[in-house]
Structure 1
Amino acid sequence: MRNSSLLRASVPLLALLIFILSTTTDARTPRSKIRPSFNPVRRETPADTFTTSPLTSPSASQFSPTVRAPKDNIWAPLSHEEATSVVEYLHRHFNLTQAEDAGPWDNEVNVVDLVPPNKTEALSYLDGEGPKPLRWAKASISFGATETPYLQDFAVGPLPLTKKATHWSLDYLTTSGTNRMKNSKADASMVLEFLQNATISIGDITQDLLGHAVKAEDAYPELVTWTQNPPLFEMKAGSHGTEERRTIHWASIFKPLSSGYPFDVATISPQGIFIKVDVTGRDPSKWTVDGWIYNDKYYNSTESFRQAWKQPNFQKVAHRNTVGKWASTDRAGKPFKYDERVPPLTVYPEGKRYAVDFERKYVEWGAFSFYLGFTRDAGLQLFDIRYNGERIIYHIGLQEAVAQYAGEDPFMSNLAYLDSFFGLGSNTMELVDGYDCPHGSTYLDSSVHEDGVSRTYPRSICVFEQDGHLPLQRHTTGRYVEVTKNIQLVVRAVSTVSNYDYTWTYIFSMDGSIEVKVSASGYIFAAFYAHNEEYGYRIREGLSGSMHDHVLNFKVDIDVHGTKNTFAKHAAVAVNQSYPWSSHPRSTMKLDKTWILNEDEGKLEWPRNGQTQYLVLNKDQTNPYGEHPGYRIMPGQGGGGHHLSSPRSEILQNSVGFAREHLYVTKAKDGEVWSSHPWNLLDPGRPVVDFGEYLDGESLEQEDLVLWVNLGMTHIPHTGDLPTTVQTTSQSSFLLLPHNYLPRDPSRRTRQQVRISYGAWLNGSTLVERFGQHEVRGAAFPLREAVGDLEGYGGKVVRLLEES
């Protein structure tokens, strides 16, 4: 039930889906500006202040140092003007219809984005030796004016466009040899209408079994019918004695509107009736209803279902699934003790301690610096991450978000998502100040160009400092105690793809480490409770928490003292060792060092018991003690990495070659930029990008290495997932840590530490060494500055791409 630019419903059904799912599909009327923030003036009370430093002014929390990025951001998304010029160019060279006027049988531009620059050219520019890489746009075009509709990506450029501009098919970024993909969802709106008509045709049955019937004139019917994703393909005997590849869908009836209840409850409202349809070809008159399932019984036609229902011995399910107030996310129940009091707040008493170049999307904090990028398919990306001015990571960012379900019924058993298809960037929304990010955070906008409009998502990326609330370092003796605060920089964005909200968080620490973390919330996609005890827990009278996997794949293009690196495994292994000072062999452990020398060896699981360190090392260099410098990668929160529980997925097939192990190591190539492609969902067995083909045995010894790292979880929803999943139980992360890379712990540079000397040697006195940090005492800070106003929340801004 995810929304996509490639899926256009008929007007009544689309209105219903928008109302139910609160998707990001926009009306075509552009809004010119964001609503202004609301800042009421009111008198302060004693509760609005607290004590802080004499250096503090009321505006200090908003003060931020300024910085100018050393180079242009060559990964910056296309501007509105650039995207408009590309669309105008394409209309001159192809037979296209304006997006707002296009239907299923038209050709139109779906998405305009950036073709990432080749790394070799980018490094030449960034390191001061070469010219700035040429800027090219990626244009995704839907060709619907044919019996066999298809999609195709083109490079258009260079930008800015001139009379010498050109375009060509982006085949080099595929493994299939062509990015031309048959659009199996070109007629999705007609499929929805076909399914709804099928539901109308059994109105007498649904009235009896579910308590509701759908009528053709219903603007907002009580029951709606949706297909699973991705489409299924079956080989059947054709009219001429040959086998034909047929397009099949299983669909399920849902009851998302309960007495006008306004919450986004569609995915927890299944009703337990399933329909199988054959929608091969583009002529709906040739589509067929091939069967129904109710109460775990299959009927091969609508008539056989009706005849069985009329029999006195027809077995009805004893319960129904009714959505009510229990599905509301609003506050309910007895409040917690003291919960009316203002909770802890984040304050910058002397202003921000990091700097942002808003124009170039560049950030500096401590010894770190990096650029931000953003794509329609994958959202937030980070580039050219440096520590002490030296690059350690060229690119780190999300590649794909997989959700794969299991169940007794054919809908859940065939349900899976590759969310880049729906747009993890285009489903990014404005963050809620003080909730998604602390008030006082720095906010940046993002934008995508899709369906003929430019969408700007104001305040959709946040940057802030946080106290990790666990000391970074401490030690106590009988003479002193020394403790260092764990101050971190955080970059965050949120993607809401239909029922699930994914929070993407990058955490930078003073010891030179980086944590990449994903957390999930939102409404689960539940199953109707009937005959499915082996696939989840019963969580309501008629509801089962359908088990599923989440796999979030990240790319980490790591560079340790240059691009020539080797991947190593350093393992603690059990041995029986003889020593000259021992009368018998001793059971102990040793460090076993091995190298991953080719891509066949680069398919890795996280080590059992944490006994093995995974390292990216530069074999051509050593530190003063003869050790190779590098960075370590290790699992973090939530049990670390995750891959599909059923790696050889019958649903997603060749589209999830990246999701079968925890970690992969490959040689960097300009044609192997992404682990997935949004169109893979249209035909998973014949994907545009098959990650498995990246793993072709090439040497990894002192090569430019790329790590492909999976996060996620197996989610078996329980009653605590109602009404929505909480992020404390659904999070996963990995860490990148310096390993023999620096001469010592770099956090010793911080002033945010204290040493307290005490004891008899000071005759009972206490000496406090603050290392130059400012004391916080003696003045009043307006508490209002630490609490944001939310009345200006706007979501997004839309401009037609044809507008200049």
Structure 2
Amino acid sequence: MSGLSYSPGEGKMSGKREFYCAQLFGALLFIVGLVAGLLIGIYVYHGGIDTEVICKNIPENIVSDGGEQTTSETPRDDVCHTCERRQARMNWTGEDPEIFAPLTSEEMSKVRGFLLTEQYIDDKPTGGLKSNYLRSMILSPPEKEAVRKYKAGTGPYPGRYVEAHVVRGKLPQPDYMQYKIGPVNKDTMTVQQLYADGELDYNSRPYDGIEISLYHVMLKEDFNILEALTKESFDGAFYSDENSDFSIFFFNGPPGVKSNERETRFSAYFNPYGNEAEYIPLDVLPLSGSIHCPGTDTSEWYVYNYYYLNQGPFQNASALMEAYNNGSLRKISLQNGHRQTVRDRSLPDRDTGVPFRHNSNIPPPRTYEPEGPRYTIKGHNVDWMGWNFDVTTSYLRGPGLFEITFQNNNIAYEISLNEIAVVYGSGSSGQTNIIYADSMYGIGGVVGNVRDVDCPEHATMLETTHWDEFSHSHILSRSICVYEADGENALWRHRGYAFEGGLRNNFLVVRLSSTVGNYDYIIEWHFTLDGKIFTIVSASGYIQGTFWDDNNPFMGDEKTRDSFGYRVNLNTRGPIHDHMIGFKVDLDILGTENTMEVIHWKTGDVMSALKSQVGSVSEVPAYFLINNTRYIEYEEVERETGYRINMEEPKFWIVKNENERNEWGVQRGYEIKPISTASQTLTDAHPAMPALSFSKYHCAVTKRKESEQFMTSTTDTHRLNQPVGYFEKQLNNEYIKNTDIVNWVTVGFLHVPTSEDVPMTARVESGFMLKPFNFFDKTPVFDIQAYLDTRTGWKTERPPKYKPCAEKGLE
């Protein structure tokens, strides 16, 4: 005996406690194990490291190792591995910096520091308009000859230069100056002034935040006078420069017609996001005016030409208010609560008033890369399936491609977006005769991709940098995406009696999406396996609406439309407009000595067809059944000129190398082929046409010059009477046969907005194709494994067999 007492009841209680604890511990252990098992299962299912998973993307028909098809009535549940996700992008490792890459943040900082040190700009534009400040920076295109010599090993590195645009308000005679600065890859830089002092008038400069902030201050006093009018007319709305119930839009370009004028037209509109930097012009209000604002002396500025419901002009706010109060004006009064509906009508979210579309809750199809990307990117140089090129972008002009080769053959030196012009027709005050050239506002400025929308998850993103004039700093974004797409159709195919075969259409995509005000532009290139290049530009975003007035005196009996468009929303007209998109296409077909040829597609009598080639023909051969035939005529273009599409007189535009022939003795070339486009309907008498003269031609050809980099100047739509960089003057009849030529290709679309464009315009597109034209000896895809079956089995071929895999989890 140990001398310890023992109670039987006490032992029973202790046993029960131990039993319950064991049960609880076991339950907890089971739960922990279950959760851990689920987590591990989920991890494995989504592709854990070195872990096999059950594939859910295996088709019912797949190719086995022996080249035969295996089929099953239900999808296979084979075990497979996770997809390879190797990085296609590598850092640039060249001895010299990339020639065409977008400006880097470091380069921009260096140039700004240089301009500060040399006193070209002020540290901060505290003097407002009377300051010298940096408006924008872009990469200055290197000289082509220098690039070619450098790449051939016969010349030095051409250097990287920056084109800086500076507002010079501090000068006795202010102006807008552009400088070439560099090389930024060297410690010592120089500056070259690109225009004479005063050549670019100060009043033709682009708008910026400094000027816009002054407008707000000026309007505050006027809108205090108009308070009763705006509250009674616009559902109690009042405007101030700090916390407004509605916003003011100042970009109804141009600000006058003459270069020494500056008359800014403004319009009121309901912004669903208050004073945030967002422009959604669906709820434009019938109140507008103008600001006389030339020069830097704001004491001489004034607001005038007020319109209310298209009634006016009134010299000032007091005159408008007097007319409003004395009953001489027709009035409008939006219903109570109207302002609370603006955001719901403007935001492109799901319509909660209707049920989900059937099966829309099921994820849509997607593509993936079973063994990783088939392209490689070094810096901004892209290599894919025989294609090689450099991709870049410019804040003002947008994206471009350089030094494009296919199977080691020179195809083009440059294919780049150059300009987007938009001209409106509108009967609303403040918004009549709107003319935009978007390079002034920065086609490549407001960039960035919408997740899961602009590019697939497996795309490789390339960074871009631009100078932001509002924050006076550089902004970095990953805006260019590169990926290989599955066309899900045949590049070529034939199914006959003796054999069947084909090649699936895969192509490489290079895409940049940008926002210019209310419109979004998507610019992309598709490179195909057979040597074609598709250039495609699409538009989406918000239309720039005008106020719909049911009692418009210029409206006919049909009260849903007028001369300028349809009613598309509660109080919104969709004004008609166009989008004319210009590209620089510098083809170098196997070298720089090229000739443009126009092939005319004709129908006529047989004698005319034969005489077009042999003028001495005197008799029609008897084997022609009828005296009418199709035929083509060949015209080698000797002088600079421009062409417009006429569907009744079809033409083929060919750029060829007269000194290079294929196996059959035919001169090798590429065809420029519009896919879809519209025509410019403005006549030469229109004041905007000199500045927008590029839009007259679907395809023009000029001799290449370093002094003719662009089809427009970024200031010309603000100086319509004195454009400095307009395209028409480049067509000066120079001899261009067998030399370095450039084609300027313009495509676009005419837009009559309809109710389907509200709240958001679904994608509309235009573009052109560059197509091999006797460039190869035969279809250039038979170095790729395709699908081929013969009836008797004497010949079979299969594309590379893929091993099904599961995508790794994405960030």
Q: Partner of 2:631 in structure 1? A: 590
Cα distance in structure 2, aligned partners of 1:707 and 1:197: 52
Matches of residues 659-674 of structure 1 in structure 2 within 5 Å? Answer: 659-674=695-710
1:570 aligns to what SS in structure 2? strand
Q: Partner of 1:141 in structure 2? A: 166
Q: Partner of 2:364 in structure 1? A: 343
Q: Partner of 2:8 in structure 1? A: none
Q: So what's the TM-score if we normalise by structure 2?
A: 0.81
Q: Partner of 2:598 in structure 1? A: 569
Matched residue type, 1:167: V
Q: Partner of 1:14 in structure 2? A: none
Q: Partner of 2:547 in structure 1? A: 528
Cα distance in structure 1, aligned partners of 2:513 and 2:483: 15
Matched residue type, 1:168: Q
Q: Partner of 1:756 in structure 2? A: 789
1:309 aligns with 2:324: yes
Q: Partner of 1:447 in structure 2? A: 465
Q: Partner of 1:107 in structure 2? A: 132
Q: Partner of 1:253 in structure 2? A: 268
Shift of 1:563: 0.7
Shift of 1:756: 2.9
Q: Partner of 1:60 in structure 2? A: 84
In structure 2, the CA distance between the partners of 1:404 and 1:199, relative to structure 1 (3 Å rule), is farther
Cα distance in structure 2, aligned partners of 1:521 and 1:395: 26
Greater shift after overlay, 310-319 or 709-718?
310-319
Question: Given that residues 265 and 327 in structure 1 are in contact (C-alpha distance below 8 angstroms), is that contact kept between their aligned partners in structure 2?
Answer: no
Cα deviation 1:432-481 (Å, max 9, x = unaligned): 34321111111111112344755353431111111112211111112322
Shift of 1:63: 5.2
> Which protein has the larger Cα radius of gyration, Structure 1 or Structure 2?
2
Q: Partner of 2:670 in structure 1? A: 631
In structure 2, the CA distance between the partners of 1:396 and 1:215, relative to structure 1 (3 Å rule), is closer
Matched residue type, 2:595: T
Cα distance in structure 2, aligned partners of 1:112 and 1:191: 25
1:478 aligns with 2:504: no
Cα distance in structure 1, aligned partners of 2:635 and 2:79: 55
Q: Partner of 2:45 in structure 1? A: 44
Q: Partner of 1:516 in structure 2? A: 535
2:771 aligns to what SS in structure 1? strand
Question: Given that residues 254 and 434 in structure 2 are in contact (C-alpha distance below 8 angstroms), is that contact kept between their aligned partners in structure 1?
Answer: no
Question: Given that residues 233 and 334 in structure 2 are in contact (C-alpha distance below 8 angstroms), is that contact kept between their aligned partners in structure 1?
Answer: no
2:248 aligns to what SS in structure 1? strand
Which of residues 59, 74, 87 is equivalent to 2:99? 74
Question: Given that residues 85 and 161 in structure 1 are in contact (C-alpha distance below 8 angstroms), is that contact kept between their aligned partners in structure 2?
Answer: no
Matched residue type, 1:205: L
Q: Partner of 1:550 in structure 2? A: 579
Q: Partner of 1:331 in structure 2? A: 350
1:676 aligns to what SS in structure 2? coil
Aligned residue pairs total 714
Shift of 1:78: 3.2
Cα distance in structure 1, aligned partners of 2:666 and 2:419: 36
Shift of 1:89: 2.0
Which of residues 290, 305, 328 is equivalent to 1:276? 290
Matched residue type, 1:328: L
Cα distance in structure 2, aligned partners of 1:471 and 1:338: 28
Q: Partner of 2:182 in structure 1? A: 157
Cα deviation 1:348-376 (Å, max 9, x = unaligned): 11111111113xx1111111100122222
The alignment's C-alpha RMSD in Å is: 3.1
Which of residues 514, 523, 530 is equivalent to 1:504? 523
Which of residues 211, 217, 224 is equivalent to 1:200? 224
Which of residues 622, 628, 642 is equivalent to 1:581? 622
Matched residue type, 1:201: I
Shift of 1:90: 1.8
In structure 2, the CA distance between the partners of 1:459 and 1:233, relative to structure 1 (3 Å rule), is closer
Structure 2 unpaired stretches of 5+: 1-40, 47-52, 65-77, 556-561, 608-619
Which of residues 288, 297, 321 is equivalent to 2:302? 288
Cα deviation 1:174-193 (Å, max 9, x = unaligned): xx995565455473322233
Cα distance in structure 1, aligned partners of 2:239 and 2:468: 34
Cα distance in structure 2, aligned partners of 1:135 and 1:120: 15
Shift of 1:318: 7.2
In structure 2, the CA distance between the partners of 1:273 and 1:621, relative to structure 1 (3 Å rule), is same
1:676 aligns with 2:700: no
Cα distance in structure 1, aligned partners of 2:443 and 2:384: 27
Question: Given that residues 257 and 721 in structure 2 are in contact (C-alpha distance below 8 angstroms), is that contact kept between their aligned partners in structure 1?
Answer: no
Shift of 1:572: 1.7
User: Which one has more relative contact order, counting CA pairs under 8 Å at least 6 apart?
Assistant: 1
2:661 aligns to what SS in structure 1? coil
1:132 aligns with 2:118: no
Cα deviation 1:63-122 (Å, max 9, x = unaligned): 549798888631123333333222222222225322475632211223333221111111
In structure 2, the CA distance between the partners of 1:512 and 1:610, relative to structure 1 (3 Å rule), is farther
Q: Partner of 1:224 in structure 2? A: 247
Shift of 1:757: 3.2
Cα distance in structure 2, aligned partners of 1:355 and 1:509: 16
In structure 2, the CA distance between the partners of 1:428 and 1:63, relative to structure 1 (3 Å rule), is closer
Shift of 1:208: 1.9
Q: Partner of 1:240 in structure 2? A: none
Shift of 1:661: 1.9
Cα distance in structure 2, aligned partners of 1:147 and 1:191: 23
Shift of 1:58: 1.9
Cα distance in structure 1, aligned partners of 2:460 and 2:245: 43
Question: Given that residues 569 and 593 in structure 1 are in contact (C-alpha distance below 8 angstroms), is that contact kept between their aligned partners in structure 2?
Answer: yes
Q: Partner of 1:191 in structure 2? A: 215
Cα distance in structure 2, aligned partners of 1:222 and 1:588: 69
Cα deviation 1:777-803 (Å, max 9, x = unaligned): 5x5x33454xx43xxxxxxxxxxxxxx
Shift of 1:213: 4.2
2:439 aligns to what SS in structure 1? coil
Which of residues 711, 727, 733 is equivalent to 2:747? 711
Greater shift after overlay, 674-683 or 587-596?
674-683
1:325 aligns to what SS in structure 2? helix
Matched residue type, 2:58: T
Structure 1 unpaired stretches of 5+: 1-39, 236-243, 790-804
Which of residues 455, 458, 464 is equivalent to 1:437? 455
Shift of 1:329: 0.8
Cα deviation 1:751-785 (Å, max 9, x = unaligned): 2x212334xxx4xxx788334x33245x5x33454
Question: Given that residues 89 and 378 in structure 2 are in contact (C-alpha distance below 8 angstroms), is that contact kept between their aligned partners in structure 1?
Answer: no
Question: Given that residues 256 and 265 in structure 1 are in contact (C-alpha distance below 8 angstroms), is that contact kept between their aligned partners in structure 2?
Answer: yes
1:208 aligns to what SS in structure 2? helix
In structure 2, the CA distance between the partners of 1:180 and 1:767, relative to structure 1 (3 Å rule), is farther
Cα distance in structure 2, aligned partners of 1:96 and 1:41: 58
Question: Given that residues 385 and 392 in structure 1 are in contact (C-alpha distance below 8 angstroms), is that contact kept between their aligned partners in structure 2?
Answer: yes
Matched residue type, 1:316: K
Shift of 1:387: 0.9
1:733 aligns with 2:767: yes
In structure 2, the CA distance between the partners of 1:581 and 1:560, relative to structure 1 (3 Å rule), is same
Matched residue type, 1:665: V
Q: Partner of 2:14 in structure 1? A: none
Cα distance in structure 2, aligned partners of 1:225 and 1:98: 30
Cα distance in structure 2, aligned partners of 1:309 and 1:280: 30
Task: Give the % identical residues.
Answer: 24
Cα distance in structure 2, aligned partners of 1:693 and 1:553: 16
Q: Partner of 2:759 in structure 1? A: 723
Cα deviation 1:108-139 (Å, max 9, x = unaligned): 22333322111111111122322221332222
Matched residue type, 2:373: K
Matched residue type, 1:353: R
Q: Partner of 2:191 in structure 1? A: 167
